[in-house]
Structures are given as C-alpha cells and as structure tokens.
Amino acid sequence: MTAVLETRALSVSYGGVRALADVDVEVGEGQLVGLIGPNGAGKTTWIDAVCGFVPATGETRLDGRTISGMPPTARARAGLGRTWQAAELFDDLTVRENLSVAADRRPMWRLVGEALTGRESDPPNVESTLELLGIGELADVAADELTQGQRKLVGVARALAPGPRVVCLDEPAAGLDSAESRALGQRLRQVVDSGVAMLLVDHDMGLVLGVCDRVVVLEFGRVIAAGPPEVVRRDPKVTEAYLGRAAQESQAILDASAIGTGT
C-alpha cells in the first residue's frame, strides 16, 4: 500500500525544547489514522509541521512527493487539508462561503474578472460536503453565530470541500456531545471510505479507538507506540503515558472503553 501522507524523522524545536523528535507517521490510501497522546505530547505540533506552519527538519511526503519546505498554501493546493482546535472559521463569512472560499482554487485573474462582471459561481462539492456532514441547514448562517460544536463541524467541512487527498483533523470532537461525536465518527468513516485519507487527533478515546484503522501514540514528542487500536490499547507504555501510574487500573479503563466502542 502506498502512503498518501508520511513523515520521516520529523523534528521540531522551540527555543531549545524539542517538541517533536524523529517522528515517523504514515497515513495510507483510504486509511483513518489516529494520533493520540497526553496533553502537550506534540500532536498539534505534528500537524503544524506537516502543513508548513512551523519550521521542521526531516521529511514530509504527500503522495510520494516531498513537500518539505513548501509554504502552507502550496501544501494545501497539493491536496493537504487541516482543521484547527479552535475551528478558526472565517467569522465574517457564512458557512457556505467558508466552504466555497476554500474550495475555489481558480487563479486570481479569474476572480478579478468575476468581480468586474459581478457574476458569481459556486464551486462544486460545497453542497454535497455540507450534506455529508449534516450541516446543510446552516449554509446561510454567519460563522460567528454558530455554537462551538457547529463550528467544529464546519471546520471539518471546510477542509473537505476542496476535495483533498488527505486531511489532518485537530480535535474535531471537542465541544461535541457524545451523540454528535459518535455521528461524527461515522461520517469520518464514510469520508475515508470514499477515498480521502485522514489523520485524527482527538481526546475522545472512544472515538479514536473506535473508528481508526491504525493509531500512533506520542508522548513528549516521541512515538511510543503504533499499530491497530486493539494492539495499542494493550500496550502498557500507552496506558502509563495516558493515565499516569496505577497502570493496571488504567488498563481496566481502556479495556472497558473497548467494550463500549465496538462500533
């Protein structure tokens, strides 16, 4: 299987502190990969580095082509999408506009022409993406009038609207209630099955362990475990990293969560 997105020895330092150290992550075609770890483990830093927002060493490849050193816009246009922890919607635009401004990849002179003639056209995909995430009714609502949960969904929709090869989701379920979170999991699965690879960072262990094909675990900027959810779940290093000591009791928690998330 070819990797859609992979990092090799990706490292990031902030003023002497190593936020990421030699991290290898691989997201294969049609895969949903979870990236988990305790707060401050470097998950968001990994997404920032992959998308070109923080300087990093090591290599990042998209569809086998190296994208290290490319600016964020170019990476996005090459087929890499992302969402943000705080959604970071364009608050002055409506939901539909948030999606279409991201999906519209026409060159600027075409847009200038459009402004001069006053004609508007919406890019394809926008309506279907809104429907896919179940936010069709919100299409004409201004982004700054949404609830936190709705903002997260719109953020995911905005990342998907341009039809990317792979999307990195930074805590899409934070702020959603459990029903919404489960629904989101199913929708993400559908999206992945339709051919968009995905990397999912989230604290909702039920969601990550339940829907992901593979899980990578970070702690203090290093990969401490990787593999299928059931393997990672049994890894004592993981339980210790996540829940501190009393590893056996933590193990019990993880086991229990496994029972419940057999989706």
Residue 114 contacts other proteins per CB under 8 A: yes
CB of 104 to other proteins, least distance (A): 5
Residues 144-203 that bind other proteins (CB under 8 A): 144-150, 153, 158-159, 162, 171, 173-182, 203
Cα 67 to Cα 35, 61, 231, distances in angstroms: 21, 6, 31
Is 37 a binding residue for other proteins by CB under 8 A? The answer is no
38 binds other proteins (CB under 8 A): yes
Other C-beta atoms lying within 10 Å of the C-beta of residue 249: 11
Q: Residues 16, 76, 90, 196: is their CA dihedral positive or negative? A: negative
Q: Is residue 64 within the footprint of other proteins (CB under 8 A)?
A: no
Q: Applying CB under 8 A, does 77 fall inside the site for other proteins? A: yes
Asked if 71 interacts with other proteins (CB under 8 A), we say yes
Among 3-11, 55-63, 86-94, 224-232, which window interacts with other proteins (CB under 8 A)?
Answer: 86-94
At residue 53, what are phi and psi to the nearest 5 degrees? -95, -15
- Angstrom CA distances, 241 to 10, 50, 123, 127, 222, stand at 21, 24, 45, 42, 12
Q: How far is the CB of 70 from other proteins (least distance, A)?
A: 11
* Residues in 43-62 at the binding interface with other proteins, rule: CB under 8 A: 51-53
Beta strands 166-170 and 197-201 are parallel
Task: Mark the segment that binds other proteins (CB under 8 A) among 4-12, 60-68, 191-199, 204-212.
Answer: 204-212
> Which residue carries 């792979």 as its tokens?
166
Q: 79, 164 in Cβ contact below 8 A?
A: yes
51, 80 Cβ separation under 8 angstroms = yes
Q: Are 8 and 61 in contact (CB under 8 A)?
A: yes
Residue 1 vs 108, nearer CB to other proteins: 108
131: contact with other proteins by CB under 8 A = no
Binding mask 222-261 for other proteins (x = CB under 8 A): ------------------x--xxxx--xx-xxx-xx-xxx
Per CB under 8 A, the list member of 205, 212, 225, 226 interacting with other proteins is 205
Task: Please give the structure tokens belonging to residue 221.
Answer: 């900027």
Q: Which stretch binds other proteins (CB under 8 A): 6-14, 20-28, 55-63, 138-146?
A: 138-146
